[in-house]
Structure 1
Amino acid sequence: MAKSIDYGNLMHRAMRGLIQTVLKDVGAEGLPGAHHFFITFDTTIDGVVMADWLRSRYPGEMTIVVQHWFEDLIVSDDGFEITLNFGNQPEHLVIPFDAVRTFVDPSVEFGLRFETHEDDDEDEDDENDPEDDPTPPQGDAQILRLDKFRKQ
């Protein structure tokens, strides 16, 4: 028997299983009601497949929105594939579950965030909390704080 129970790893597997189940259901039945997803993923993880122009635009992290228009949602044990519309240009993406950093369904105030060891190191080293900065970062990417979606 193991010396200890790895609750962190067990929780990550369970949360990824939840995302897998939700995406399989959406792939089979479509999005119910007002549900939609913001999925942020690490574009540097092995297995992520995306167009070169998207990778150059999002070299580290990208957030996709699964809402009005998507096609070819295929879910496997390791991840999912989806075709999304980027400025009237359909692009096929392959995203391993290991690359997913956040999964949010704002219609029901539900969100998951996957911590990495690098996130822990950055939190310890970073004395400036971006939430304290009154000027939001400029550019195409948006920082999505899951606290907004938690019920009070």
Structure 2
Amino acid sequence: MSHTIDYGSLMHRAMRGLIQQVLTDVRDAGLPGAHHFFITFDTTHPDVQIADWLRERYPDEMTVVMQHWFDDLIVTDDGFSVTLNFGDAPENLVIPFDSVQTFVDPSVEFGLRFETQDDDDEMDELTSEDELEVVGDDDDQPREDAEVVSLDSFRK
């Protein structure tokens, strides 16, 4: 048993659970109102599945928009898959939650950003080096400036 509580990993898991719940709700009921999402993910993640031509065009990261047209949204405990339209060419993408770098809903000025600080340690140890920022608030009133909370302020 560890001698410390890894709040960074716990927050990451909780925030990825939030994304999972939001996408599950959208799968079941559709996008409400003006809500839409910009989702940036790491295309080098071993479990990401995208078309070869997309991987060539976006070798490191890719941002997709879920707004007017998307189909076949499937949400699992590990990630989600969705068919999106790229210039009249529908493509299915499989995106693990661990590959998500940002999740933004600009209609309510809400966003999450997951950053990994590169280190020479093993991948399993990187989760404790991650930073999470939460942008936005709970009310639907537009704000001129968003609140940003960084996990670094809670670390010793």
> Which residue in the other structure is 1:54 paired with?
54
What's the % identity of the aligned pairs? 71
Superposition pairs for residues 50-89 of structure 1, below 5 Å?
50-89=50-89
Instruction: List gaps (5 residues or longer) in structure 1.
Output: 120-145
CA distance in 2 between counterparts of 1:5 and 1:151 reads 25
CA distance in 1 between counterparts of 2:86 and 2:68 reads 12
Report the AA paired with residue 16 of structure 1: R
Q: CA deviation at 1:151?
A: 5.4
Report the AA paired with residue 150 of structure 1: A
Task: Report Cα offsets for 1:61-95 as digits up to 9, x if no partner.
Answer: 00000000000000000000000000011000000
SS in 2 for 1:108: coil
> Which residue in the other structure is 1:150 paired with?
146
SS in 1 for 2:118: helix
Task: Report Cα offsets for 1:113-136 as digits up to 9, x if no partner.
Answer: 0010229xxxxxxxxxxxxxxxxx
CA distance in 1 between counterparts of 2:13 and 2:107 reads 24
Report the AA paired with residue 7 of structure 2: Y
Superposition pairs for residues 104-143 of structure 1, below 5 Å?
104-118=104-118
Report the AA paired with residue 41 of structure 1: F
CA distance in 1 between counterparts of 2:89 and 2:146 reads 34
> Which residue in the other structure is 2:39 paired with?
39
Q: Which runs of 4+ in 1 moved over 2 A?
A: 146-149
RMSD: 2.0
TM-score relative to the length of structure 1? 0.78
Structure with bigger helix share is 1
SS in 2 for 1:107: coil
Structure with bigger strand share is 2
SS in 2 for 1:24: helix
Q: CA deviation at 1:150?
A: 1.5
CA distance in 2 between counterparts of 1:13 and 1:60 reads 23
> Which residue in the other structure is 2:103 paired with?
103
TM-score relative to the length of structure 2? 0.76
